[in-house]
Chains A and B, each alone.
Chain A
Amino acid sequence: MNAPVPASQTQATAQAFLARYDLLKANLPGDASLRDAAAAAFARTGLPGAREEDWRYTQLRPLAELALHNALPSPDLAALLARVPALDAARLVFVDGRFHAGVSTASATTGAPAYGTQAQPLAHKLVALNTMLAEDGAALHVPAGVDAGTVLLISLGTGQASHFHPRHSITLDAGAKLTLIDVSLGQGAYLNNPVLSATVADGANLVHLRLQQDATTAFHLSTVYADVAAGGTYDSFALTLGARLARMEVHANLNGAAAAAHLNAAQLLGGNQHADFTTVVRHAAPNTASRQTVKNVLSGKSRGVFQGKIEVLRVAQKTDGYQMNQALLLSPDAEMNAKPQLEIYADDVKCSHGATIGELDGEQLFYLRSRGIPDAQARTMLVRAFLSEALDPIAHEGARAAMETAIATWWEGQPT
């Protein structure tokens, strides 16, 4: 008998996911043929590797270490839940990727999660992995003209499952409104690999506010697809504080005239953390607009990545695209990699992008201190000021306050 010898650790990790699928597949929900197709695609391609242009700065080799961790003893759900911002909103709680009715205040699904319905999802390796192994997910549908208020979508990693792959679908019919506050946190070592598909119909408005506080021994790899029709808006802000290795990938497709997407983000990292915010905005109709303000605060030996691609199709005249990525390096060992990409095929567009990398400004620091503000407090003020362009546009006051609190707590934990 010749056991297959893995050529690399990453392949061994992929093999482990496939073995898991073989074990589970009889009991997984949804269309088995879609899952088999995903498994076949994943078996063929494996995990993203460093030779791929889109994965040059983020390497998944450390995922192999998940196999070395023992599951934690039974989780203290109450302690994890206590870390979720106390907001007055319906709660959908997923524990290790499965809906947990006992601690939720609303039912998760108004229909089965839409596995594998995105165009060509399987070409995306992490989406194929998710499609293959997804066990549960929220499916929210807001009917035309309804303002559904605020929903908290909570993912708790307990350290008992070494990987989970929730699959969420959010559908807003014409003129509908929803604010989705998407919180993930946990303890122990695990991979959280969610895929969220959002369909925003004509004139609908989805606000997607994300707080990623997964355990610093965990991996967070998320993919969001937002398809926005005429006059609709996908308005998002993502705060990354957690995970040893994180990547948030967002594909916003502006398919109808005057559709808009805001993909703001802040990544605050320390220690050996690595976080990657990757966006692909596709302007596929006239008068569409996209705004991206991405802020990175990096201390210790952390590494931030921003990859932002703006595609403007020939039909997308009068596109207004803006992208700004800024990094504040608080230590000489921190590193930022930024890769803006503009592909413009229309001739009447306004697109701008910029990137800056710097340290705290000594003049500003001295100005504050000369007014009596102690050094540490002055630094806090300047970091908060640096983040303001990304944070201030958050209209939901409770969510913004929760983000501020999370940032303050993060900052207090950094070595001075």
Chain B
Amino acid sequence: MLEIKNLTAKIDDKDILKGINLVVPDGEVHAIMGPNGSGKSTLSYVLSGRDGYEVTGGSATFDGQDLLDMEPEARAAAGLFLAFQYPVELPGVNNANFLRTALNAQRRARGEAEIDAVGFLKLSRAAAKRLSMPDDMLKRNVNVGFSGGEKKRNEVLQMAVLQPKLAILDETDSGLDIDALKIVSDGVNALRGPNFSALVITHYQRLLDHIVPDRVHVLAGGRIIRSGGPELAHLLEAEGYAAVVAEAA
């Protein structure tokens, strides 16, 4: 379970998060929607431990552990996964090798046995097939020469192999056509269950037609200004952020 209390953070002396309160219980999918510049990506980076963000107050715990005190790799091993808005290209790093290294690093950190090459090959091929990814995507360098849609599918492939307890999807729908959106959503939905929760960050309601959230939160000006059920996403789509933000103010 993710529990965020009164979290504040800044970049370069600019306050971005101004007191976030949010609880995502086990097995639930929550969506965070909000206009540009509201702090959506900052929240995902603060939770995953990227440099350059200064937490100035509040707390974030994950299964009772102080998330903000952990290195990014320890957060990953604990079961946190960030699907990047802009997946990073790694020239010279083979995709399969990268994924196997990551999986085994996490397993080692948790005191579990490592997975051998044969076992990994089966696992990753099956995951790639479910996501309609050609086998050769595993053989290529990580995200190098991938289309926007392929990069997002590659994020979901990593998620499928790493089996996180909590996934943060940062605008995973951006740059996806309808078919890719469906494939990616199916990939996320396949992971849903009592031990998987997700924080789906998006601009548009479209993604939430495929990944139906339990709760929807509206983030504006660094605070969650409104929360509700899936119908809130439809309201935003119909009326726009400005109206909802103005109403909350």
Contacts and interface: CB of A to CB of B under 8 A. Distances in A.
A53 B93 CA distance: 39
A375 B72 CA distance: 9
Contacts of A378: 73
Contacts of B84: 367, 370
Contacts of B51: 362, 366
Given A362-B51, A366-B51, A367-B84, A373 B105 contact: yes
Given A370-B82, A372-B162, A385 B92 contact: yes
B77 interface: yes
A374 B50 contact: no
Given A373-B101, A377-B105, A364 B73 contact: no
Contacts, number: 75
B203 to A, nearest CB: 22
B49 A385 contact: no
Interface string B175-210: 000000000000000000000000000000000000
Which secondary structure characterizes the binding site on chain A? helix
Contact of A371 (B49, B91, B158): B158
Contacts of B118: none
Contacts of B249: none
A384 interface: yes
Interface residues of A, number: 23
A372 B88 contact: no
Nearest to B141: A385
B90 A372 contact: no
A385 B101 CA distance: 14
A365 to B, nearest CB: 9
B140 to A, nearest CB: 13
Interface in B84-121: 84, 87-88, 90-93, 98-99, 101-103, 105-106, 109
B135 interface: no
Interface in B31-83: 48-51, 71-73, 75-77, 81-82
B92 A372 contact: no
Nearest to A388: B92
B73 A369 contact: yes
A388 B50 CA distance: 27
Contact of A386 (B75, B92, B103, B106): B92
A371 to B, nearest CB: 4
Nearest to B110: A372
A374 B72 CA distance: 8
B71 A370 contact: no
A389 interface: yes
A381 interface: yes
A367 B75 CA distance: 13
B44 to A, nearest CB: 10
Contacts of A385: 90-93
A309 B82 CA distance: 47
Given A366-B50, A366-B51, A373 B92 contact: no
A367 B93 CA distance: 12
Nearest to B87: A367
Contact of B102 (A366, A371, A384): A371
Interface of A: 362-364, 366-375, 377-378, 381-382, 384-389
Given A370-B82, A371-B76, 6 more contacts: A362-B51, A363-B88, A370-B50, A370-B76, A371-B158, A382-B90
14 contacts: A364-B88, A364-B90, A366-B51, A367-B87, A370-B49, A370-B50, A373-B102, A374-B109, A375-B71, A375-B73, A377-B101, A382-B93, A385-B90, A385-B93
